Amino acid sequence: MYFPVAGIEVNPLVPPLTAFAISFCTSMGGVSGAFLLLPFQVSVLGFHTPAVSSTNQLFNIVAIPSGVWRYIKEGRMVWPLTWVVIIGTLPGVLIGAYLRVRYLPDPRAFKLFAGLVLLYIGGRMLWALLRLGKPNMQAQRTEEAFQQRMRQHSERQTARGAKPTLPQAVTKRFDCTRVVYEFFGQEFSLSAPGIMALSLIVGLVGGVYGIGGGAIIAPFFVSVFGLPVYTVAGAALMGTFVTSVAGVLFYLAMAPLYPGMAIAPDWGLGLLFGLGGFAGMYCGARLQKHVPAAAIKWLLAGCILFTALKYVSGFFLH
């Protein structure tokens, strides 16, 4: 099947199956999978123009709703955290989309940028995981206590003959200065301006890359702010969805200004990726609570660092 905007020919089963496999794993950590799908499009399919970024964001729009719906249904969507992320990320994504078209149309330069972004994401996750591996670390004790509470809660419900479910996240405070919520008997307090500032930077980088920012913000929430991945995932996915909608619209608006460059998304390819991601994200979100958080983090870190090192080394070796 030929995709005119991407300028490639590929079996129509390849995009949805690839997207399903990627999204199934990454959605467990609150990431749509777009950060790994973009290297697949660039390196495997040979899709190099700025349109690959907008196509990647189109994938987010189609794929993310299933995962978001699952997190909402299970009461794990922390809405105050979600809105703060969206407000901060949205302007950055629009600026990033402009920078992608204006200054990074060259595939080689874009690969270096993508590799550095992924290297940073993967490095942060690996650093956090290695810290958790040391004895007597507060983060490790918090994670273990959280896992133990989950197991005890499920065992009590099973003993009563009820279907095991997770308690819902409860908002304690949401204003211009702080976001406070409680989940599984533990309270988490965050600076709203701090998250917005971080989200702005994340949105800018995500807008250039074409991922909406969830792949960057989710590891920050887990490793820096110490939030459980079980409550971060929904907020990160919802933020990525909203900013991806804005990103695609912005790319469409810019396309007439650059008639000699492919900027608008490849709708056929993006929809096929999105359909596979839709199914993979739902399955990943549904099974996330049964998978240890450490396993999710190690899986994501390994995939990210492998791709990052390949891109960065490729830039300097060729």
**Could you state, in order of their start, the residue ranges of all structural domains in the chain?**
16-155+166-317
Among residues 300, 301, 298, 277, which one has the least CA distance to residue 41? 277
**Is the CB of residue 236 less than 8 Å from the CB of residue 199?**
no
pLDDT at position 9: 93
pLDDT at position 178: 92
Among residues 62, 117, 55, which one has the least CA distance to residue 255? 55
For each of the chain's 318 residues, which pLDDT tens digit applies? 999 999 999 999 999 999 998 888 777 766 667 878 888 898 899 998 899 989 999 998 988 888 788 778 777 788 888 898 889 889 998 898 898 888 888 878 888 888 888 888 788 778 877 865 454 444 455 555 666 666 676 677 677 776 656 667 788 888 889 999 887 777 888 899 988 988 898 888 888 888 766 667 877 787 677 787 777 878 888 888 888 899 999 999 999 998 888 999 999 999 999 999 889 888 887 776 677 767 777 877 887 788 788 888 878 876
Residue 186 has φ and ψ, to the nearest 5°, of -115, 135
pLDDT at position 198: 86
pLDDT at position 136: 40
CB atoms within 10 A of CB 253: 13
188 strand-pairing partners? 181
The secondary structure of 244-284 as a DSSP string is HHHHHHHHHHHGGG-TTS--S--HHHHHHHHHHHHHHHHHH
DSSP H or E segment with residue 25: helix 14-26
**Is the CB of residue 233 less than 8 Å from the CB of residue 139?**
no
Q: In the numeric block, which tokens belong to residue 171?
A: 């908002």
**Is the CB of residue 303 less than 8 Å from the CB of residue 120?**
no
- Please name the residue that has the structure tokens 């197991």: 151
